[in-house]
Amino acid sequence: MSSNYVLEMENIDKSFNRVSVLKQAGIRLEKGEIHALLGENGAGKSTLMNILGGIFPADKGTIRVNGEQVEIVDPRTSQQLGISFIHQELNVVADLKVYENLFLGMERRNRFGLLKVEEMCRKTNEVLAELGVKIDPKAYVRQLDASYKQLIEIARALLQDSKIIIMDEPTTALTEHEVYRLFSLMKNLKAAKVSIIYISHKLKEIQEICDRYTVLRDGKVVGSGRMADQNLDAITKLMVGRSVSEERFIQQHEPGRKMLSVTGLTSPGLFRDINFTLHSGEILGFTGLAGDGRTELFESIFGFKKKPFGSIEVEGRSASINHPVQALQAGIGFVPKDRKENAIIKDLSVYHNMSISALSHFEQFGFLQPNLEKSRFHHFKETLNIKVHDPRVTIDKLSGGNQQKVVLAKWLEVDTPILVFDNPTQGIDIGAKREIYQMIVRLAEQGKAIIILSSEAPEILKVCHTIHVMYQGEITAKLKRDQATEDEIMKYATGSKREVEHIG
């Protein structure tokens, strides 16, 4: 008798260069369920899913689809078995139209080999209607929101009649309401008996949407069961092997001297009339939904974007910043978001990524001194707990959390009195997140003035003294830490409420 599992992966072993990544791992997926696959970075989630997606084979173990044992040798066989993999980075072609993306690689043609455009458009409309949305099939993908791009990938999966969809951190690039849209979509899929494997670090989301879970730690399955039977703390404990409490990290403090004050800062189309003041030892938070202009605001202050109108004063002196190097000279450091695109230089070694912004510290007689770089890195390796076997390897070989720590080390080496962190814990696991929060707080205690930008209100609440909420390029609220709650922040961030008083 066949089981009611659409997918069973059992006793999967996999090692790279004789380093064992998966040990007897596996997952069982029921028909029409949303199954959370959880674990810290490096726990083996991606490896397990890549085996399922046919990216590389398992060393050992069995995979059954609908009760039948299968051999997945390449992505194509995986696809033929009805498995679709929606990667973290969206695989859509921005310069093609919606229907062209949907049918990419499986275009419908008539007997002369010409494309049947109208038929493909009709089919696109049908599939999109199934998902409960209406988009013009002939619109260009580059004009769509990120969530719609995701939708196209999901629609592609449906078009291929996929019965199993793997989603790897689908909500990282999405705003709150886009996330809701995705979730209702996932519920529709579930009703249509499609099974979803959902990989995410955001436990709240998982609790909301998932039916069951499997937790991996160090390549082994350490727990699985029904979501409803477990609370988040217990699951977190399973993931990290220890309990992470929800405490706030900061202590009360006496604000020091004025470090940065911004008045009437405006950049047409990006942000309007921004005013705030930052003191040494203080942690300011900026939050809001996507498109609120906070990233653009600080990229402008840092000299990366066009110079804004208004005044920026650093330690009482007016600063004119046209290039990031002038921001650095004025005393502002900036850890950008989207680490891969903006922060790491992937062909440089870990050492060289650490030193790149402060090379004058490592020079003697005009020549770089590798020994200085090495000893300096070992200092940061200790203080920031960077896990790297051989720092001569290129930085892309490190896990996300460790990459981020190297980026932090780079800015600590520059040692600016003001540090801006944009989404500092993006895509890194709970353990490393905690370490990064602690480090930021420690920096503030040492007298640095710190600004954190984040779309995650709980993160902001944990570490900031004062929270600025932005909505469409304006600061709509300035909340003290003890007044602020997630609900309150949400109201200002969605524009449904705003402070009347002028903030300054």
Residues at the contact surface with other proteins, assessed by CB under 8 A: 17-19, 302, 304, 323-325, 327-328, 334, 336, 341-348, 352, 356-357, 359-360, 363, 366-368, 410, 414
CB of 17 to other proteins, least distance (A): 5
Q: Is the Cβ of residue 153 or residue 413 nearer to other proteins in the bound state?
A: 413
**Size of the chain, expressed as the number of residues it contains:** 504
Alpha-carbon 337 to chain mean position: 9
Q: Considering the complex, state which of residue 263 and residue 342 has its C-beta at the smaller distance from other proteins.
A: 342
Q: Are 228 and 235 in contact (CB under 8 A)?
A: no
Q: Least Å distance between CB 427 and other proteins?
A: 16
CA–CA gap between residue 268 and residue 262 (Å, rounded): 17
Other beta carbons within 10 angstroms of residue 160's beta carbon come to: 15
Q: Which is nearer to other proteins, 327 or 388 (CB)?
A: 327
- Whichever of 126 and 363 has its CB closer to other proteins, that residue is 363
Residue 142 CB contacts under 8 Å (≥ 6 apart), including other chains: 94, 95
Output 19 or 114, the one with its CB closest to other proteins.
Answer: 19
Least gap, CB of 357 to other proteins (angstroms): 5
In whole angstroms, how close is the CB of 3 to other proteins at the nearest point?
Answer: 31
Whichever of 154 and 408 has its CB closer to other proteins, that residue is 408
> Could you give the 3-state DSSP secondary structure of residue 43?
coil
Amino acid at 402: N
**What pairing do the DSSP bridges indicate for beta strands 474-480 and 418-422?**
unpaired
| Cβ–Cβ under 8 Å, residues 255 and 445 | no
User: From CA 105, how far away is CA 117, in angstroms rounded?
Assistant: 14
Q: Looking at beta carbons only, is 245 or 360 nearer to other proteins?
A: 360
Write down the least CB distance from residue 280 to other proteins, Å: 22
**Identity of residue 238:** L
Residue 224 CB, nearest approach to other proteins (Å): 25
Least distance in Å: CB of 98 to other proteins? Answer: 28
**Nearest CA among 406, 451, 402 for reference residue 427:** 402
Q: Which residue is associated with the tokens 């300035």?
A: 478
* Shortest Å distance, C-beta 422 to other proteins: 10
- Residue (105 or 366) nearer to other proteins, CB: 366
Buried b (16+ CB within 10 A) or exposed e, 393-430: eebeebbbbbbbbbbbbbbbbbebbbbbbbbbbbbbbb
CA distances from 286 to 235, 278, 304, 465 (A): 30, 12, 19, 11
